[in-house]
Amino acid sequence: MTVSAFALRGVIAAVLTPFDDRGEPDAAKAIPYYRELLNAGCDGLNVMGTTGEGVSIALGARLKFMRAIAESGLPRDRLIVGTGATALGDAIELTRAAYDLGFAAALVIPPFYYRDASPEGIERFYGALVDRAVPTGGKLLLYNFPRMSGITFSPELVDRILQTCREAIAGIKDSSNDAELQTQLRERFPSLALFPGSESSLGALRSRGFAGCISGSVCLWPQLAQEVWKTGDESRSQELARLRAGLQGNSLIGAVRMHVALQQNDAGWRRSALPLQ
């Protein structure tokens, strides 16, 4: 099946959203930090994904933040934005804005409240989203994160969605940490850009035909991650995997916030949107 080509590859940081003391997204703080990451080794950024706590931000505030980032002068062809929501209408409004503002792609997690949604229901959700929000040539990435959504993008479900959405689906971010599933998706859909959600095995991904990674922790070591992606050097790959493993056992978002606050010498980076702390 023909799918929409998606050019962005490599090390993509799923970035934090900074919050001001009123709990609102702080674009003025985000923009220079995002620029710093792009200059430090990140090929791209995923804005307002899981690490960016997008689903905890009110619809109007999400749209306002998206607009500020799009108008900041940051290279929009290197920016993916999370537009998933439990309500189809909200997902449509956010996704339509992503394309109107010129982001490279929208990343959409399935609606995540009704865990007994059928494959047909998920297929129809994405079909309606594409019909009402994705322009011709627009790139949409499926977001497989079963721990958060309760939905697993099995090869069979992806095939159903592709049949309905035609060339609009350009790739998948897979945060399942299921190597077998990732291999199945890679083999079944070779034309989709497939991004694992961790840099732990980044050194081997390129040779296996993966598009790179979209990870919330590569912001802590972008230069090392870029070196591993480009060279596949075994010792550097092991170092990268060790660093990532060092974050296990903690809240990943909390750990990344702590490290970024230290790196930036700004305790404000430790603020999360409730209910996270």
The CA R_g of the chain, rounded to the nearest whole Å, is 17
Task: Give the whole-angstrom CA distance, residue 109 versus residue 268.
Answer: 28
The residues annotated as belonging to the active site are 50, 113, 143, 173
Q: Are 82 and 48 in contact (CB under 8 A)?
A: yes
Residue 80 has φ and ψ, to the nearest 5°, of -105, 145
Residue 259 makes CB contacts below 8 A (sequence gap 6+) with 220
- Would you tell me how many other CB atoms lie within 10 Å of the CB of residue 195? 30
Q: How far is CA 252 from the centre of its chain?
A: 15
- Within the chain, residue ranges assigned H as helices are 27-40, 59-70, 88-100, 119-133, 146-149, 155-165, 179-188, 202-205, 222-231, 234-245, 252-264
Looking up tokens 């449509």 gives 92
Greatest CA separation found in the chain? 49
DSSP per-residue string spanning 140-176: EEEEE-HHHHS----HHHHHHHHHHHGGGEEEEEE-S
Q: Which two tokens stand for residue 153?
A: 């993008």
